[in-house]
A and B are shown apart, each in its own frame.
Chain A
Amino acid sequence: EVQLLESGGGLVQPGGSLRLSCAASGFTFSNYAMNWVRQAPGKGLEWVAAVSGTGGSTYYADSVKGRFTISRDNSMNALYLQVKSLRVEDTATYYCGKVTYHYGSGIDSWGHGTLVSVSS
């Protein structure tokens, strides 16, 4: 059974940084691209970033480009999102998700999310 478990969220001041983590199990992690998707309180889903199975290719939404960095450690079955220069509008639950079979297709497994709150 595929399991994804996010951690690392918390309360941070504007301009601050956090490192989100996603521990994966139940599948061959290195075979799949992985995504981060966020959801502001009471709002819809927003795709944030993705990384290829090897980690060699990364992709970002315009809203986070230059501030967020996605990475993975296939030896640890772990996905990361380094978030910097945080803004109030970055407040959201951050989900990690695994693609169905290749990048571009749907996200078939989701974690339960980790909440990032940006406030002074």
Chain B
Amino acid sequence: QSALTQPASVSGSPGQSITISCTGTSRDIGTYNYVSWYVQHPGKAPKLMIYDVGKRPSGVSSRFSGSKSGNTASLTISGLQADDEATYYCSSYTRTSTYVFGAGTEVTVL
């Protein structure tokens, strides 16, 4: 199972919006609305930010939103804040009943 494709890094200034893309195939993102996004700060466990493409777990800021079109999912962070600086991973359920992750995107707040 090949990893999902994410940009290595994305940056933005405080208050701006940024979007992280996550490209898969018809075997994963293109077939299932089971795309999740996680944030991981250095030395910490991952934290779920978005699940089922665009749903936010309780406690996650509405500044985070998710969407999907075809084989590509996206995470948008609006009103960028300093503590949004971290690595973000996308994940999808697949046709072989497994999960696949992206390689991660480092978000830098300028």
Contacts and interface: CB of A to CB of B under 8 A. Distances in A.
Contact of B98 (A59, A95, A100, A111): A59
A32 interface: no
A46 B101 CA distance: 6
Given A47-B99, A62-B1, A105 B47 contact: no
Interface residues of B, number: 27
Interface of B is mostly: strand
A108 B49 CA distance: 9
Given A44-B102, A47-B91, A108-B51, A95 B34 contact: no
Interface residues of A, number: 23
Contact of A106 (B45, B91, B97): B91
Contacts of A103: 97
Contact of A100 (B46, B51, B87): B51
A14 B12 CA distance: 44
A97 to B, nearest CB: 8
A112 B34 contact: no
B1 A44 contact: no
Given A104-B34, A105-B34, A108-B51, A44 B45 contact: no
Given A45-B46, A45-B104, A107-B91, 19 more contacts: A37-B101, A44-B87, A44-B89, A44-B104, A47-B91, A59-B97, A60-B98, A61-B98, A62-B1, A100-B51, A104-B34, A105-B34, A106-B36, A106-B48, A106-B52, A106-B91, A107-B38, A108-B57, A110-B46
